[in-house]
Amino acid sequence: MQKYLINPNQKISKINRDIYGCFSEHLGRCIYEGMFVGEDSPIPNVNGMRKDIIDALREMGIPVLRWPGGCFADEYHWKDGIGPKESRKKMINTHWGGVVEDNSFGTHEFFEACRQLGCDAYICGNVGSGTVQEMSEWVEYMTSDAVSPMANLRRENGHDKPWRLKYFGVGNENWGCGGNMTPEFYADQYRRYATYVRTYDWNNRAQKIACGPNGADYNWTDVLMKKAGRQMDGLSLHYYTVMGSWHKKGKALEFTDDEYYITIDKAYFMEELVRRHGELMNRYDPEKRVGIIVDEWGIWHDVEEGTNPGFLYQQNTLRDAMVAGLTFNIFNKHSDRVRMANIAQTINVLQSVALTDGEEMILTPTYYVFRMYKDHHENTLLGSYLTTPNLADKKAPQLTESASIKEDGTIVATIVNTSLSDAAEIHCQIADTQVSGVAAEILTGEVHAHNDFENKNVVSSCEFSDFEVTADGFKTTVPPCSVVKFLIK
């Protein structure tokens, strides 16, 4: 029997709902076909946005959407994507699949998508191949309500009032596709570009996000914090779980038990990353003013056979859901420093929450994890501890958890059991609490289980009743390969 202790007297940090954000790039079928089909499409849409996708993401509680990249961001010139659609420039998306980008989805369309989703906007600007003036003017275009050249241009293009812009990224992966810069060079560039990311209205101040490290590049974090920490609100972190090598990552649907456990172990590396980068940041920012923004994370498999290799289309099983669940538990536990995260990516690309095929749409196992964890949004993280063995010969534990409390006093506890063979008997005790009721939801199944266009509902979350309420908590048996959420009153 594993002991699970939750201490409501230990209130640690607020779980920013933006931890549950998504990333959408002009890559493959994420924006075009995924989010946006155009006003004239036979696929039901509102102002070009797919209704089925908007409804699903709203239901999932999407808090924030990052756009337009990714590597695409440092090649994107925002003025190509405004004005009458027929006169927008066409270009080749050199980074992703060599397809024609007609710029029919631009700034106005992105904010329209955010409006329909009811979510905040996170825009990533172009440092790699753009100018300071171009970036500065984009921010003016989006957020100025004055009489000014860019605000007037926005009005001419049909949008009178500024949009709310919560976050602005100053470049993407500038250590790689965003210009192959050294941390010293980028830190100077960041200071220069960020200076001209002006605030036109203090009630609509975009938080400035600097490009952060690639995985375990601690030197990058050190240099950035030392040279530019005072000019930023957040530092990004990118980490992808790749089971094999970058050349042979492994298939999304076919994998052995060994490959599954390697995946889990690599995904769990996220804990070390946010902890160690956070410790480094503490040296320069002990008050934790600067957030870690994990604005690209997820599993990266080989593309599905017969699809464009540049489109990064992959299926999604219970394995992906386990990774999502354990990653969210890590983010919650580190919510004193992790302020936002964006899964890569939202639709049809990498670890998506939804896949589309023409008019058809399916929700992935990862989607259900997002929906279950919605109950953690904006709660206060509580002190909690669950005893657990490690997975055989791995660093990752069999069980991960996080617990939080809502304003109305409901305690939310999420447990992930990553074992493929062992159920976990758990005795949960909540300090100084008289428990009156418990409700639970589970996502579980055979680890290869997934939804596809022939069988859309093989995997979905459902009510879980295998627990017994005790005076101060509950006793339960969590099945192998499952994510379980408990709501405790």
Catalytic residues: 173, 296
Nearest approach, Cβ of 94 to ligand AHR (angstroms)?
12
Judged by the rule CB under 6 A, the positions of this chain that interact with ligand AHR are: 25, 69-71, 172-173, 296, 344-345, 350
Q: How many residues does the chain have?
A: 489
Nearest approach, Cβ of 93 to ligand AHR (angstroms)?
11
The residue of the chain with the least Cβ separation from ligand AHR equals 70
Q: Which is nearer to ligand AHR, 69 or 234 (CB)?
A: 69
What does each C-alpha distance from 157 to 94, 150, 218, 242 come to in angstroms? 28, 11, 44, 43
Q: Which is nearer to ligand AHR, 242 or 458 (CB)?
A: 242
The answer to whether 341 and 295 have CB atoms below 8 angstroms apart is: yes
Q: Which is nearer to ligand AHR, 354 or 382 (CB)?
A: 354
Nearest approach, Cβ of 318 to ligand AHR (angstroms)?
22
Nearest approach, Cβ of 4 to ligand AHR (angstroms)?
35
Residues paired with 424 in a beta bridge: 478
Nearest approach, Cβ of 178 to ligand AHR (angstroms)?
8
Nearest approach, Cβ of 297 to ligand AHR (angstroms)?
10
Q: Which is nearer to ligand AHR, 173 or 320 (CB)?
A: 173
Q: Which is nearer to ligand AHR, 120 or 173 (CB)?
A: 173
Q: Which is nearer to ligand AHR, 211 or 488 (CB)?
A: 211
Residue 8: name the closest of 384, 261, 296 by CA. Answer: 384
Query: What is the Cα–Cα distance from 347 to 28, expressed in whole angstroms?
Result: 10
